[in-house]
Amino acid sequence: MWSAATLRRFLEATADDELFPLWFFLATTGTRRGEALGLRWNDTDLDTKKVKIIQTVMAIGWEIHYGQPKTAAGRRPIVLDPGTVEVLRTHRKKMLEQRLLVGPGFVERDLVFCQPDGAPYHPERVYQAFKRALKKHGLPDLPIHGLRHTWATLALEAGVHPKVVSERLGHSKIAITLDMYSQSVPSMHEEAASAVAAIIIGAEQR
């Protein structure tokens, strides 16, 4: 897991990378790699700042397959922040320009994040590109799934209700979220202790 400062450094360092829109989306939504790679423009509404996680991309051997999230909770809407919306708008414009350059070789799959000819990115190649970016910019090692863990931890540290975090992550139960992340955010325990103590002390003083 990274700190907010390290994550910001990563996004600033990779701003000119081909996969920057994907890195940014993963960092600000907490989605899984396969969910982001399966995202379609038809499931994206930049005007209302929402996307729907309905399709995923997975690899069996080296062959790419499309599927759906394993649980009902995994099939979910996610609200986007203005910064992510702007990144996706810019990305969409560049995709349309690139499509004109590719011409008849482009195959329409409606994917938000795809190769210049419209083909899906292979999850393993995305992982390798992520690792190369970390090495190139001298950033601390992190599995690509760590972007999801970083988002969840930063959200809880920022005071976002665990139920909201759980729903955005697509966990089937809030208990899963709490079990995974409560121990990684010790400040939550400190704040809880101080808050309850303040109520008790205040009650005694009255």
Per-residue pLDDT tens digits of the chain, which is 206 residues long: 899 999 999 999 999 999 999 999 999 999 999 999 999 999 999 999 999 999 999 998 889 999 999 899 999 999 999 999 999 999 999 999 999 999 888 889 999 999 999 999 999 999 999 999 999 999 999 999 999 999 998 888 888 888 999 999 999 899 888 888 876 666 666 666 777 778 787 655 54
Residue pair 25/151 in contact (Cβ under 8 Å)? The answer is: no
Q: How far apart are CA 35 and CA 53, in angstroms?
A: 6
Looking at residue 179, its pLDDT comes to 85
Write the CB contacts of 51 (distance below 8 Å, at least 6 apart in sequence): 29, 39, 43, 44, 45, 77, 78, 80
Looking at residue 105, its pLDDT comes to 87
Looking at residue 202, its pLDDT comes to 66
- Residue type, position 200, single letter: I
Looking at residue 203, its pLDDT comes to 57
Phi (first) and psi of residue 69, to 5 degrees: -55, 145
Residue pair 141/149 in contact (Cβ under 8 Å)? The answer is: no
pTM of the model: 0.89
Looking at residue 184, its pLDDT comes to 64
Looking at residue 204, its pLDDT comes to 53
Looking at residue 117, its pLDDT comes to 92
Looking at residue 1, its pLDDT comes to 87
